[in-house]
Structure 1
Amino acid sequence: FMEKATGVPYDEYSVTIPPFQTGNPRIDNRQSNPDPVLLGYLNVKYVVSEFWISDLDFTLVDNDRGTFIYENEKYLPRAVVYRSESRSGDYRTAQIVDYTPNRIYLATEGSGLLVLSEINYPGWIVTIDGDPASIVTVDGLFRAVELPEGNHLVEFIFHPMSVYTGIGISLVSLVIILGILLITHRHGSDT
C-alpha cells in the first residue's frame, strides 16, 4: 500500500517513509508520483518534498530554499463514515470523543461503513452502543465496522490475545517454580 501511495519502490527496510536509496532526499525519488487519494486514506494532510510535484491535488503551501511543502487536497479525517464499502461518494466525519493508544471512542450519525485511517492490527475488538460487532478490513489495510441506522457510540479496544497468553504462561511458570521451591525446601528440612 505504501509503495502505491508514495510512488516509491520498497526494496528493503527503511527508517523513513518513503525510503531514500542513497540517503539523500535532494536526489532520491525524483521520478516518484505520490498518490493523493491513497495518502488521504492514510490521513496524510501535508507532503514535504525536495522536488516539484505536478499533481493538481497537491497544493503548494510553501517553498523554503528548495524544500516544497504541499497540502493534500484529498486528505481525509482520521475517522469517516461511507455509505458503502466501495469508499466512493460522500462521507461523513465521525467525531472522535476519546483517543488513547489502546482505546478509540467515537460518536457517529447514520448507517454506513465507519473507516479509521489505522492498520487493522490483530487484537482490536469493537462495540456499537455497548454491543459486540465485527471488525472488517478495508483496502486490505484499514480497520472498519458496518454501522446500522441511527446515532451510535462506537468503541474500539485493543485486547490482544498475546497478552493473555503471556499472562497464562507466566502464571503456570510461577506455579511450577513455587512447586519446585516448596518440594526442595521440604526435602531440605527432612534431612
Structure 2
Amino acid sequence: MEGAVPAWAHEPPEIRSPDPGWRESARAESVRLAVVLGPWLVDGVEHIGSTAVPDLPAKPVVDLMASVGDPDVVAREAAAELAADGWCAVPPERDGRPWRRFFVKPDASGVHRVAHLHLLPAGHPRWYAQLAFRDTLRRDPGLTARYAALKRCLATRHAGDREAYTRAKSDFVAEVLGRSDRSGP
C-alpha cells in the first residue's frame, strides 16, 4: 500500500445478508495462510468478525486473525509471499492500531475488500477478546439479532466513513465482552 491510497481504503460499509460462502472463503484463506505463515504461527489462524457468525448480516469481508511471535518480523519476512497471494500491507501509521499488523486482500478490480488479515502477537488480549466476541454471538441468537439491527443502522448513518462505523459499534462490543469469559487459556 505504498504511495497513493487504494480505492478499497475508502469503500463504504455495506451490510449484506448472511452468506454461507463466507465460511468456505475463510476456510480456504485460512488453509493458505497457515502455509504462508506456518514458520511463525503460535495459535493458528482464526475466522473472526461478523462473517464468522452464522445468520449475522455483515460487510462481505472475511476477517482472519493469526497469532504469531512478532507481527513486525512476520510482516517483513512474509511480505513477498503475502503480496503474491494478493494481500496488501497497511502501514502501521495508517492502521493506527499499534498492537497488530494489518493486511487487506482486495478483489480483482481493486475496489472492494474480500478479506482482512490481523497479525497479533501470541497471548495478546485482543486475540482472546476477538474470539470471545465471536463465540458469544454464536451462542446467543437474540444478541446476534440486536447486533444485526445496530450494524444496519450504523452502516446507514456512517455510509461514507468506515472508521466511524467501526467506532460506533464499540459500546455494543464492550457490552458483549462484559458478558463473556475472555481470560484466555
Same fold per TM (> 0.5)? no
Q: Which has the higher strand share?
A: 1
Q: Which has the higher helix share?
A: 2
TM class by shorter chain equals under 0.3
Of structures 1 and 2, the larger Rg is shown by: 1
TM-score by length of 1: 0.21
If asked which structure has higher relative contact order (CA below 8 Å, sep 6+), I would say 2
